[in-house]
Amino acid sequence: MQLLGLPEEILVLILESTIRPVDPRVSLPNSQSILTCRTFHRIGLPILYRTLLLKSSSNAALVRRSLLERPALVRYVRHLFSRVSTFWLQLVLRAIGHAEGSLHTLDFSISAIWVSGRLDSNDEVEPLAAVPVRRLAVRLGSSWVMHDRVLSIVNSLAEAIERWPNLEVADIEPRLLLSSIPRGQPSPVALALSRSPTLRFLRTSLPPEWDPSLLITSENPGLKRIALTTSRVASGSDGISSNVVEVPVAALVAQTDFHPWLVEAQKHHRLMELIFTT
């Protein structure tokens, strides 16, 4: 039997394994593999657009143009990973928002050197808030500095978190949760997480010292668990690298009497319940 003679359900499975990237945060699928015939193109196009990685400004510009010129493609986009400036990310999100798209996963970084450019001022909803997201991952670059433009992005993120109707999982870099300047004011992101109507799971690093941001977030009545992570340094063929791993509950229990953050956290039943739930 020829390949094109197979049922389309089987062809979908074959093409999924053919053009799926090994790691969407690192590589993109090769579109050449679906340009062999119209059937492959029709079946493979939704798979190709399912996971997008914005890895350069020129790449982001091409993705944005494709989505604006062919809005029907937006319904295929489920996972968006961005390693470009927040300016280009917002332009792509605006294109998705124009076609009333939504995302299962949004994974992006905020860095002082990546927060560049300004969108034209208009009456449109902020691009982040305009595209509903189910799973959110936000990281910070090594050159993190809380200046006005970065703070603007943080405030936009907080607004989006409160507006998204189906956010269930958030993986947030801890510095985004720390109390804001002026000192003593709660982080807008922590406040937004405490008000998110559908948030169920929060993942963030174990703070080195006490800060009330996670306590504020724990006030969300729908939240089921807070997972605390730590960086683990490992050596391999590529040299020394750092991986983020979840801290086992047993390890947290062993630190409750001397870790500065855990010592204070023990005074708050709801917060401890969320952390030690397995």
DSSP string, 160-220: HHHH-SS--EEEE-GGGTSPBTTTTBPPHHHHHHHH-SS--EEEEE--SS--THHHHHTT-
> Does 25 map to a domain?
yes
Looking at residue 40, its pLDDT comes to: 59
Can you tell me the distance from the alpha carbon of 253 to that of 14, in angstroms, rounded to the nearest whole number? 47
**Burial status of residue 243 (CB atoms within 10 A of its CB: 0-12, 13-18, 19 or more):** exposed
Lowest mean pLDDT among 29-43, 80-94, 108-122: 29-43
Q: What is the pLDDT of residues 37-48, one digit of tens each?
A: 565 556 677 878
> Does 218 map to a domain?
no
For 221: left if phi > 0, alpha if psi spans -120 to 50, otherwise beta; the answer is alpha
Question: What is the extent of the structural domain holding 6?
Answer: 1-50
Looking at residue 135, its pLDDT comes to: 98
> Does 238 map to a domain?
no
Q: What is the pLDDT of residues 201-241, one digit of tens each?
A: 999 999 889 989 999 999 999 999 999 988 664 544 444 44
Radius of gyration of the chain (CA): 21
Looking at residue 240, its pLDDT comes to: 41
Looking at residue 238, its pLDDT comes to: 45
pTM of the model: 0.80
Please determine, for residue 34, whether its predicted confidence score (pLDDT) is greater than 60: no
Looking at residue 187, its pLDDT comes to: 87
**Would the CA dihedral through 11, 12, 13, 15 be positive or negative?**
positive
Can you tell me the distance from the alpha carbon of 96 to that of 166, in angstroms, rounded to the nearest whole number? 17
Work out the pLDDT band at 79, boundaries 50, 70, 90: very high
Q: What is the pLDDT of residues 158-210, one digit of tens each?
A: 999 999 999 999 999 887 887 665 566 788 999 999 999 999 999 999 988 99
**Burial status of residue 90 (CB atoms within 10 A of its CB: 0-12, 13-18, 19 or more):** buried
Furthest CA-CA distance within the chain: 70
> Does 130 map to a domain?
no
Looking at residue 141, its pLDDT comes to: 65
Of 180, 110, 116, 171, nearest to 144 by C-alpha is 110
> Does 9 map to a domain?
yes
Looking at residue 8, its pLDDT comes to: 62
* Cβ atoms of 213 and 187 closer than 8 Å: yes
Q: What is the pLDDT of residues 55-74, one digit of tens each?
A: 999 999 999 999 999 999 99
> Does 39 map to a domain?
yes
Please determine, for residue 134, whether its predicted confidence score (pLDDT) is greater than 70: yes
> Does 264 map to a domain?
no
> Does 161 map to a domain?
no
Encoded amino acid at 240, one letter:
I
Assigned token pair, 6: 């197979």
- For residue 202, CA distances in Å to 13, 50, 136, 145, 167 come to 33, 25, 10, 24, 11
**Burial status of residue 133 (CB atoms within 10 A of its CB: 0-12, 13-18, 19 or more):** buried
Can you tell me the distance from the alpha carbon of 144 to that of 14, in angstroms, rounded to the nearest whole number? 43
Instruction: Show the CA angle centred on residue 190, arms to residues 79 and 130, nearest 5°.
Output: 40
* Cβ atoms of 81 and 89 closer than 8 Å: no
Please count the structural domains in the chain: 1
